[in-house]
Amino acid sequence: MEKVKIIPDYLKRFRKTKRQNKNQVLASEIYKYFGGRLEFSRIMKMIKNKGYQFIYEIFQEVKRSNPKNRLALFLWKFEQQPILWKK
């Protein structure tokens, strides 16, 4: 029985890890920063609609400031600022 347990543990070393693109990395960072209160799929949709750079700048502004409700500030800035251009 011990041999059966050892083989799957050994094979875990060789599993390929999925590579994430920059949008997924940013969405993951935002998701962890807000403690999961904002859904990952919603963050990805925000990045897709408004662009990576726009969301990154808003996120950095929220991280630098120290409001009581960071999530509310992030969402408010997202809704208020117009898009100048998107690549």
Query: Is pLDDT larger for residue 17 or for residue 75?
Result: 75
pTM of the model: 0.71
pLDDT, residue 3, reads 52
What lies within 8 Å, CB to CB, of 78 at 6+ separation is 46, 50, 55, 58
Q: How far apart are CA 77 and CA 87, in angstroms?
A: 20
CA proximity to 30, closest of 50, 60, 54: 60
Residue 13 lies in a domain: no
- Average pLDDT, stretch 20-29? 92
Q: How far apart are CA 66 and CA 74, in angstroms?
A: 12
Number of domains in the chain: 1
Does pLDDT of 26 surpass 80? yes
pLDDT, residue 4, reads 52
CA proximity to 47, closest of 29, 32, 64: 29
Residue 15 lies in a domain: no
Does pLDDT of 39 surpass 70? yes
Residue 6 lies in a domain: no
**Residue 41, domain extent:** 20-80
- Average pLDDT, stretch 33-50? 93
